[in-house]
Chains A and B, each alone.
Chain A
Amino acid sequence: MDPNETPQCRRNLEALQAKAAEKRREKEAAPVPVIHIGSATCGIAAGALDTRQAFQEALAERGIEARIHTVGCVGHCYAEPVVIIDHPDSGFPPIFYHEVTPGKARMLVKLFLEQGDPRFEHIYGATIENDMIPWVQEFPRFSMEHRLVMDRCGRIDPEDIFEYLDDGGYAALAAALETEPSDIVAEIGAAGLRGRGGAGFPTAKKWSFAAATDGEKFVICNADEGDPGAYMDRTILESNPHQVLEGLAICAYAVGASRAMVYVRAEYPLAVRIVTRAIEQARSEGILGESVLGSGFRLDMEVFQGSGAFVCGEETALIRSMEGFRGMPVHRPPYPVEAGLFGRPTVINNVKTLASVPPILENGAEAYRSVGTADSPGTAIFSVVGDVVHPGLVEIPMGTTLRTLIYDVCGGIAKKKSFRAVQIGGPSGGCLPESFLDTPIDFDSLIEAGAMMGSGGMVVMSEDSCVVNVCRYFLEFTQKESCGRCTFCRIGTRHMLEILNRLTCGEAVEEDLERLENLAHDIREGSLCGLGKTAPNPVLTSLRYFREEYEAHVREGRCPGMMCRPLIAYYIELDKCARGCDACVGCCPTDAVFTTSTRKKGIDLELCVKCGECMVACPPEYDAVRKISPAHLAPVVERSPKRDKEAKDKA
């Protein structure tokens, strides 16, 4: 590179930063309170848009000046809609409110913004240290997280490139453009960055292979996120798209590619919109296009919408789908870095991998290595769902134990239940029992335990969940998503699913367990791509660690977690049932609950669909509805034939 030309990038960046600072000053010119509302998919789902509207209306009605600031997701999904109110004139620090319904929003405008009372009973915490309100960093959910990739998520407006620039964004790219590409690859190598798409492949190695090739090349950001219970990639794209684009641009420069694509699934309309807009903004500010930040390096970027096939997350299948074919994996080698999209060398990296790149270059490899473990440096991002008190997205240093993550960061098991299992890595991952809770979370330890980092989905199961049932669920998913190319995966998973179906219906026989295990091993050995190779993982690990649960299903027709509906029954304990109460009768969707001659209630097991609604409806002071497994243990209460007929006619 021409040494006289290099300062250009920095000058251009500085000009953009000045523009960003100017925009901020303009916004902050009027010293009004700021209301930050988390409006990523999770927030919107919980009603953030209604909340925003309520704020707007209440402000207008009362003639109060305040600025509403739309931000992405803070990761605290259990608390959505999340609102942070920064009202310096009140003398209070910025306050974090949770579950802000439209009603709460109106109340806060009136009482806090107008009258200065922050309503302590609704406060979650303050976002800075102070001596009035507990600082959120004192809560484990905040202090134990280490936000490297998601640092800006929930702080900035994802649809405004200037907020990212003003927060130091694109500085890593500007600096990278003044560095030799090989030095960038070396720095990423020194940081020990491993791919967050599941397998943990060293990123620098992948880049250096691609850099060594000639001619046209492509770089692709893999945001296909097929795991049916994970949403980290989506959240990052929706909350801070520019960090991913910056990482992708650096990757393109480092390997010498002039075209980059972001492969986002079409089911993520908000992410698609935000990324598309982010690319447009970057282009119009000269960060993408003919000459990136005036460096002379050319980079075009576009969004490709994935059409929702789990297997398309696999890199060769992803490429096939971009070329306009069925997304079926092809044999590797050749690897995409040799012959990928349209036969050209192609680097494919996960969203989180790319989002890790700017902070690494900014703070240096050393700083990155100071977090995490020696072999898995950096942070891990999980979407923790299921029976925990505080589900949501968490970013923790690699090496944190499962116990810390589940009990400290996520608040432990909900409803004071006991822990049964944790499923890590989605459909390709495994199920681990309590004895593995001290396993550190890193690529290698998880694989050793039989699970894997996989997609980063984590499902925590309490005693009320059935491991066999959840494994059946994952297998049903992989079986459906199997592309059908290789026999082991196509037919093998079907046989496995049939056995699991029998198990969860209580129709399995003793030999089925062995058959299941053999099939699982064969599929693992014989499948072509990662989908088939990992599909048996949930079953294999659970057979290893939870065999007694499988045996209970086979031998006793009993589901220990009472989740497999064919194996359970509901009944009403007559001693506890109250005569005058009709709660369960009213809520039953199939009229299975009936009134007995004593005006107490019974359940018609023939009509009952086991939805459990009556159990929820039964007032806690009576607590009369019981669930039991195996089903035949439920006491039978006879229904009078007349009523019986009526109900059946109605049904």
Chain B
Amino acid sequence: MEEKLTPEESAILEELRQSIRGDDSQRSRLIPILQKVQERLGYLPPEAVKMVADHLAVPLSEVYSVATFYNQFRFHPPGKYPIKVCMGTACHVRGGEIILENFERKLEIKEGETTEDREFSIERVACVGCCALAPVALVGETVHGHMAPSKVEGLFTRIQVQKEIEEKRRKKDGSE
């Protein structure tokens, strides 16, 4: 799957290009720079990887070889609501896998994928640090503890409601 950069993404990339110019070009900066890029863009599009490779004068393949080694880096855009399901030990023992399956079934995508409308993505993470609440899932940065299949349904309803509220607010703001 080859995604095109959205206009916003292209703008951010341009900004990044300017800002890393001032950055050190030592090899040891590779990972910090990739992190910086991903922090802004949410993922590492091919254009960005090429930019980093050029800046550090490291072959593109080498940058990919490093970036793909680490779990942190992703090469597809995350959804607007990134869902992370904890697969840490405590959550595993309490049925984290079942929660993951429920999200997958509901969104009809697999972990590591993003829905076509780029609204949702599913990822597995290891230990969010609140094992006492296992099993745990995150939507964005919000942690939801004691997950159960029925709570997965509830979460989507909540997101839907939230969206509608935002929509209304935006309309209101627009009309004012």
Q: Which residues of A contact B (CB under 8 A)?
A: 40-42, 44-46, 77-78, 80, 227-231, 234-235, 266-268, 304-305, 307-309, 321-327, 342, 383, 385-387, 391-392, 423, 426, 457, 459, 461, 465, 470, 473-474, 477, 483, 587, 589-590, 609-613, 616-617
Name the distance in Å between A200's Cβ and chain B's nearest Cβ: 22
| Residues of chain B with a CB closer than 8 A to A305's CB | 31-32, 35
Q: Roughly how many angstroms separate A535 CA and B31 CA in the complex, as a whole number?
A: 27
- 25 pairs of residues in contact across A and B, judged by CB atoms under 8 Å: A45-B133, A78-B132, A229-B88, A229-B89, A229-B127, A230-B89, A231-B129, A231-B131, A234-B129, A267-B72, A307-B71, A323-B27, A324-B26, A325-B27, A326-B69, A327-B69, A387-B93, A470-B89, A470-B93, A473-B89, A474-B89, A483-B69, A587-B150, A613-B148, A616-B148
How distant is the Cα of A266 from the Cα of B101 in the complex, in angstroms? 26
Chain B residue at smallest Cβ distance from A465: B93
B19: Cβ under 8 A from any A Cβ = no
User: How far apart are A51's CB and chain B's nearest CB, in angstroms?
Assistant: 14
Number of B interface residues, CB 8 Å? Answer: 44
Residue from A385, A387, A465, A610 with most neighbouring chain B CB atoms (10 Å)? A385
3 interchain residue pairs of minimum CB distance: A229-B89, A307-B70, A228-B126
Contacting B129 at CB < 8 Å: which of A235, A307, A387, A423? A235
Instruction: Give the distance to chain A from B43, nearest Cβ to Cβ, in Å.
Output: 14
Question: B46 on the interface (CB 8 Å rule)?
Answer: no
User: Cα distance A387–B29 when bound, in Å?
Assistant: 43
The total number of A-B Cβ pairs within 8 Å is 145
**Known A78-B132, A589-B102, A613-B150; 17 more pairs at CB < 8 Å:** A41-B128, A46-B133, A46-B145, A77-B130, A230-B127, A307-B71, A307-B73, A321-B31, A324-B30, A325-B27, A326-B65, A327-B69, A387-B93, A392-B132, A459-B89, A470-B92, A616-B148
What residues on A are CB-neighbors of B122 within 8 Å?
Answer: none
- Please state if A42 and B71 are interface contacts (CB–CB under 8 Å): no
Residue in chain A with minimal CB distance to B73: A307
* A610 (CB) vs chain B CBs: closest residue: B98
Most chain B C-beta atoms within 10 Å of own C-beta, residue among A45, A80, A309, A321: A45
Residues in B whose Cβ lies below 8 Å from that of A613: 148-150
Which B residues from 73 to 94 make CB contacts under 8 A with A?
Answer: 73, 87-90, 92-93
Contact of B127 among A80, A228, A266, A470 (CB under 8 A): A228
**Residues of A contacting B70 in the complex (Cβ-Cβ under 8 angstroms):** 307-309, 321, 327
A385 pairs with B131, CB closer than 8 A:
yes
CA distance A342 to B148 in the complex (A): 48
CB distance from A326 to the nearest CB of B (A): 4
Which B residues lie at the A interface, using CB under 8 A? 26-32, 35, 65-66, 69-73, 87-90, 92-93, 95, 98, 101-102, 105, 125-134, 136, 143, 145, 148-150, 152-153
Q: Across the interface, name the chain A residue whose C-beta is closest to B131.
A: A385
Partner of A459, one of B65, B90, B128, B130: B90
**Smallest CB-CB separation from A80: which chain B residue?**
B132
Residues of chain A lying within 8 A (CB to CB) of residue B125: 267
CA distance A321 to B28 in the complex (A): 8
Tell me, rounded to whole Å, the shortest Cβ–Cβ distance linking A541 to chain B. Answer: 16
Contact check, A229 vs B128: say whether CB atoms are below 8 A apart: no
User: Roughly how many angstroms separate A609 CA and B136 CA in the complex, as a whole number?
Assistant: 19
Give chain B nearest CB distance to A542 CB in angstroms.
14
Query: Across the two chains, which residue of chain A brings its CB closest to B71?
Result: A308
Residue pair B132, A326 in contact (C-beta under 8 Å) = no
